[in-house]
A and B are shown apart, each in its own frame.
Chain A
């Protein structure tokens, strides 16, 4: 008997994929550890990470929020002000180097760089340029607000049992003298671009891996039981500065991120990888989960991904939790999944014919 003869159906393309409707494909993921409804779960990362938080909340799981909107604020306003989008108001953390930067501010007491962007009497945070759309009324207010987010990020690390991080980009913008990273290229959402100070870097596998490992290790030092769930955003790049075609650049970016996530998860029993990227992007699903622009994921696609996520946990945690894990999200009225995504603002810089 050879090893293939003992393998389950899911290991073979024909019974697992070809002989099934795409909606019958299952067992895409077997979680390494259980996510129980009471476990505090923090979510950060790229735009797609928002859907995990919302899905946790919709299914009565314990989505950890450490920076709440003020009492009385309507949900639409809270989202506009970036409250309850991620576990705190970091804005999008697209790269593992940004994750490391936030982690070191939160845990090592490193002060954020002394940089502030001013425009028309308003002040913007270079590290959360879109967190308040119209900026802050003063530099002092911007710095206080950022410190609240850093403290809240620290609290997330300390209090969560599971840290979900969605890797989004390899392309990054770095301050040449300070060596620190911006989540968005200066001069796009806010700030002013200066080619002598602002350098483009398309990060490689070793760099991305090193930053993610360093972040995980820092967090585990203060919370030794913390588990990590990595995902890769299935959303293609809005724009690339790599000089390549955006399709080619997207493939590079996602491939490297996917490889890093898989590599780190393979080596550690407290790190897992959830295949949201594959569920949306695999040719098996024929692009069904994208809007006509072939970039934005539909609400149906998000729900499909999140159903796989919770179904897998249901298998893991057993029938006693079934009722809770089964609770589906209310079908979205909007065709497109509602999300806050800074990177999309880059679309405005493309030429139109």
Chain B
């Protein structure tokens, strides 16, 4: 399986995790396409490819992908768009909202956001399977007795059914074992998190200690293993 992972700083944990576990998945090849922050907003469809319109973003993509100057869907079997403003929907279980109001929240979470724009661009070119991984839930210490994930799982199911299924895209949930208090990533997955390497002086530097949004390689590994399991990719026999 030729997998393309497109994303922003959050793909750093996936990329380093892949370096750790790639030997276990011999059938998988991954090319990472990335730029920090909102850099991927400087992409556009040109011909049959998606290419950067900004030199800094081009350099970043070339560095991370080892030489690619753009994304060509014909060169991949599956695409994962990761981070880039992707957010989950938490279905409000305790408060009542009208169906129209709920729908509007989901539209707000998706329409105009970078992950959705990228998915739309890809769909203009190809019917290749497209998956989206929302940016990791902000991290917290485990503080609540209630570790119920119903709000998250129900919200994700509805978001997929309403917003992504019509364009044959699927948003992947964060591994359940990484979630605490029903709506946050366990703080332990921020420990030792490092920056995405894009070919500059702070590549792979640790994130500031107070950063609760970027996760470490262990998180990336759990995420990738769950993703592969959902795709039916089996680990290589020893």
Residue ranges of A at the interface with B (Cβ–Cβ < 8 Å): 68, 70-74, 77, 80-81, 132, 134, 136-137, 141, 144-145, 148
Contact = CB atoms under 8 A, between A and B. Distances in A.
Best-buried of B90, B98, B107 by chain A (most CB within 10 Å) = B98
B36 to A, nearest CB: 24
A74 B104 CA distance: 9
Contact of B100 (A74, A134, A144): A134
Interface in B1-50: none
Nearest to B88: A72
Given A70-B101, A145-B97, 12 more contacts: A68-B95, A71-B92, A72-B87, A73-B105, A81-B101, A134-B100, A136-B98, A137-B99, A141-B98, A141-B99, A145-B98, A148-B96
Given A137-B99, A145-B98, A81 B92 contact: no
Interface in B76-118: 87, 89-90, 92, 95-102, 104-109
Contacts of A72: 87, 89-90, 105-106, 108-109
B7 to A, nearest CB: 20
Contacts of A73: 101, 104-105, 108
A77 B106 CA distance: 11
Contacts of B87: 72
Contacts of B92: 70-71
Nearest to B107: A77
A293 B212 CA distance: 50
Interface in B152-206: none
A68 B109 CA distance: 17
Contact of A77 (B89, B95, B96, B104): B104
A170 B100 CA distance: 33
By secondary structure, the A interface counts as: loop
**Most interface-central of A68, A72, A80, A144 (chain B CB within 10 A):** A72
14 contacts: A68-B95, A70-B95, A70-B101, A70-B105, A73-B108, A77-B104, A81-B104, A137-B99, A137-B100, A141-B98, A145-B96, A145-B97, A145-B98, A148-B96
The 8 closest A-B pairs by CB, nearest first: A74-B108, A73-B105, A70-B105, A72-B105, A72-B109, A77-B104, A137-B99, A70-B92
Contacts of A77: 104-105, 107-108
Nearest to B110: A72
Contacts of A71: 90, 92, 105
A144 B100 CA distance: 14
A77 B112 CA distance: 14
Nearest to B92: A70
A132 B108 contact: no
Nearest to A152: B95
A68 B90 CA distance: 14
Contacts of A70: 92, 95, 97, 101-102, 105
A137 B104 contact: no
A316 B100 CA distance: 45
B138 to A, nearest CB: 12
A120 to B, nearest CB: 14
Contacts of B105: 70-73, 77
Contacts of B107: 77
A295 B179 CA distance: 53
Contacts of A134: 100
Interface centre among A68, A71, A77, A144 (most CB of B within 10 A): A71
Nearest to A141: B98
B114 to A, nearest CB: 15
A137 to B, nearest CB: 5
